[in-house]
Amino acid sequence: MPRHSESQPNPIPHRINALSRREMLLRGGAGFGALGLSYLLGGPSASAFVDSPTLLPDASAWKRPDGAKSVIFLFMEGGPSQIDTFDPKPEVNRFAGQSLPSSIKRVILPMGEMESPLLASHRTWSRRGECGMWVSDWLPHIGECADDLVVVRSCISDGLNHVNGVCQMNTGSIRGGRPSLGSWVTYGLGTENENLPAYVVLQDHERATVAGGPRNWGAGFMPAVYQGTKLASGNEPIPDLLPPDGIDDARQRRKLALLDQFNRHHALERPDQSELDARIASYELAFRMQAEAPEAVDIDSESEETKRLYGLDREETATFGRNCLLARRLVERGVRFIQLYHGAGSKWDAHTGIEKNHTENCRSMDYPVAGLIKDLKRRGLLDETLIVWGGEFGRTPMSEKGDGRDHNPYGFTMFMAGAGLQGGRVIGQTDDFGLHAIEDRIHVHDLHATILHLMGLDPDRLVFLHKGRPERATLNEGVVADRVVFG
């Protein structure tokens, strides 16, 4: 064979898969997103998703074996009024119709709002449970569970409107783009059931949109595989799950295998888009779900007594009751994080007509939430499940439009139950009018740190490297609320 002269370049064999230096660096860096994908899918190694095997992160650095297994976050979207539910303030009624006393005023709201007259609360309060916790007549059934609740009256946040308030309660930031709390939990713990989504979102009004939309359950800068999976409410939570009539298992497998081949070839040329890995994983998950998910969402298989416990026999409670019952069934099957939106579309927002607004919302929510707590408890699941209840903020003691209340992120109430918490306790305090948290203030970042801690995760060590920077769920600001955890 003739040798080439030094003046001519050596011929380079044509390779279809040849990479430029830039493509190589891009593919090598972006491939790390598939590590989490392999972990979620329970695969034997990451080598199935990246060009070379790479060790997965050592979760033992941030994970304890004694945490709860699942979270059910009951999100009252729009902001329930704390001074009408869990935080009675007699002074509000005493000074009703008058301006807020100057000793309470601070420069936090427009002066016109600060000068609005106080709006009386028409609630009747009673001590519930052996602990004697104050609960209003709007929540008679949750009041029956008072001995299981840890009520935090001193929550604070930075969100003044619904979009940034809901965003912060979900992601820690008032600006979109960060991973949601459910994504962090899923990243830190993985999944216990590879045949179901690890992170599920349900809302009670399909035609309404949660303020801020899907970014509230998005994965932010994490690989898209960690984002929440939104299920539909109603009789078919997962549409198009079953294969068409006449398509047997073997044919379905061949069809999906061909689709997978096309998808992987498409993704190979676009390694910087983690959404493609997530889409491929979603198809694989959908196939596995065909065996388990129909049974998991089959609420009709429950006993009539259980359906009544959740209020499925009542028109006003049936929708949210079905979601709460589905949440219990998903917890039983190892789903990590379940977020139930009640009042999707800011239905709790009561700038006017708070009596009608909150009466209807409480009536449709109170009975199912109490049923969920009681059902988990009697099944022995409450200690391994963390329940969180609350909205993006509370409401002011001053009136708006004569018969409503404005947003109040400066002192509002949330409660937790389960996860081994000692119930029957009230944490924190607001001022005499319920406007400002003044004792044991718990910011959203602290709340998130506490939730992660109760799930067996160390919020300081749970780190995701983003562009070389260590990112944490609490934005390096939150601390675990010891009084909530230890009493």
Other beta carbons less than 10 A from residue 103's beta carbon:
8
pLDDT above 70: residue 54:
no
Per residue in 6-47, pLDDT (tens digit) is 444 444 333 334 556 555 555 555 444 444 444 444 443 332
- Total length of the chain: 487
pLDDT band per the 50, 70, 90 thresholds, residue 239 = low
CA distance 263 to 280: 7
The pLDDT, as a whole number, for residue 10 is 41
Topology classification of domain 57-237+297-486: Alkaline Phosphatase, subunit A (3.40.720)
pLDDT above 50: residue 51:
no
Please tell me whether residue 102 adopts helix, strand or coil conformation.
Answer: coil
CA distance 67 to 90: 39
CA distance 441 to 349: 24
Q: Structural domain boundaries of the chain?
A: 57-237+297-486
The pLDDT, as a whole number, for residue 217 is 97
CA distance 469 to 309: 48
CA distance 160 to 395: 11
pLDDT above 50: residue 52:
no
Q: Supply the mean pLDDT for the chain.
A: 85
Beta-bridge partners for 414: 152
CA 268 to chain centre: 32
The pLDDT, as a whole number, for residue 61 is 78
Mean pLDDT check: name the lowest of 123-137, 238-252, 302-316, 345-359: 238-252
Per residue in 132-183, pLDDT (tens digit) is 999 999 999 999 999 999 999 999 999 999 999 999 999 999 999 999 999 9
The pLDDT, as a whole number, for residue 49 is 29
Q: Which token pair is 51?
A: 């060009």
Please tell me whether residue 155 adopts helix, strand or coil conformation.
Answer: strand
Q: Which token pair is 41?
A: 């899918």
Per residue in 448-485, pLDDT (tens digit) is 999 999 999 999 999 999 999 999 999 999 999 999 99
The pLDDT, as a whole number, for residue 407 is 97
Please tell me whether residue 63 adopts helix, strand or coil conformation.
Answer: strand
Instruction: Specify the higher pLDDT residue, 304 or 236.
Output: 304
